[in-house]
Amino acid sequence: MFTLPPLPYDYAALEPFIDEETMRLHHTKHHAAYVQNLNDALKTQTELENMDIINLIRNLKKLPPEIQNKVKNNAGGHLNHSAFWKMMGPKPRKEPSKSLLASIKKNFKSFKEFQELFTAAALGRFGSGWAWLVVEGKKLSIISTANQDSPISENKKPILALDVWEHAYYLRYQNRRSDYIDAWWNVVNWEEVERLYKEKS
Ligand code: MN
């Protein structure tokens, strides 16, 4: 059984950039529903009980066809949100520290250019989905995915994620996804991004 991980800070901790009500609903309703639906989908699959979430996503094709889509969407939702909460924080630094910053500059010319490209990927995702900074080997790249699709299923390691589903911003920003993205840059937890960057996958 999968469980909803606690938010690593208070619901109001990301104010004024991400509002308390959005955080509360996003975590206790949306993320909780992915966990619940994932457990529902797997309840007859006793042999999968001990499989971790990453292996589950990488081995979707081995699941019974009738539950593959439900598992893909909800395992993705659970994995993506679990990572997303930790990638934000109340008192973050403005930019990553040395080694990651050097790598970002190498891959995207400057930190500013990286932010512009990432923002463009987040704005350009039509409908619901995510923008990502991912690592493949030594290379960093920016991608976006639809729905709850995870870069992990393409063997790319995500180190920064931005949820651009409307549920992530509509209460405060309504249709202004661009304002939400601008605000979100203020709460990126670069220490976590750097930790993921350095971690062996
Ligand atoms: Mn979400």
**Dihedrals phi, psi of 135, to nearest 5 degrees:** -115, 130
Ligand 1 is an ion; residues with CB less than 5 A from it: 163, 165
CA–CA distances in Å: residue 64 to residues 40, 102, 107, 160: 14, 45, 40, 31
Residue type (1 letter), 120: A
The sheet with strand 157-163 has its strands ordered as: 139-146, 129-136, 157-163
Closest to 84 in 3D by CA, of 174, 159, 194: 159
H-helix or E-strand containing 53?
helix 53-58
User: What whole-number percentage of the chain has pLDDT above 90?
Assistant: 87
CA 142 remoteness from chain centre: 13
Ligand 1 centroid vs 74 CA: distance in angstroms? 11
Q: What is the pLDDT of residue 152?
A: 94
Ligand 1 centroid vs 81 CA: distance in angstroms? 6
Which residues of the chain register pLDDT less than 70?
201
Ligand 1 centroid vs 37 CA: distance in angstroms? 15
For residues 49 and 15, give the distance between their C-alpha atoms in angstroms, rounded to a whole number. Answer: 38
**Most distant CA pair in the chain: distance in Å?**
50
**Dihedrals phi, psi of 171, to nearest 5 degrees:** -60, -45
Q: What is the pLDDT of residue 201?
A: 57
Ligand 1 centroid vs 96 CA: distance in angstroms? 24
How many other C-beta atoms can be found within 10 angstroms of the C-beta atom of residue 152? 20
Ligand 1 centroid vs 27 CA: distance in angstroms? 8
Cis previous bond, 16, omega within 30? yes
Q: What is the pLDDT of residue 94?
A: 85
State whether the Cα torsion 176-146-192-90 is positive or negative: positive
Ligand 1 centroid vs 103 CA: distance in angstroms? 28
Ligand 1 centroid vs 44 CA: distance in angstroms? 27
Ligand 1 centroid vs 82 CA: distance in angstroms? 10
CA 107 remoteness from chain centre: 21
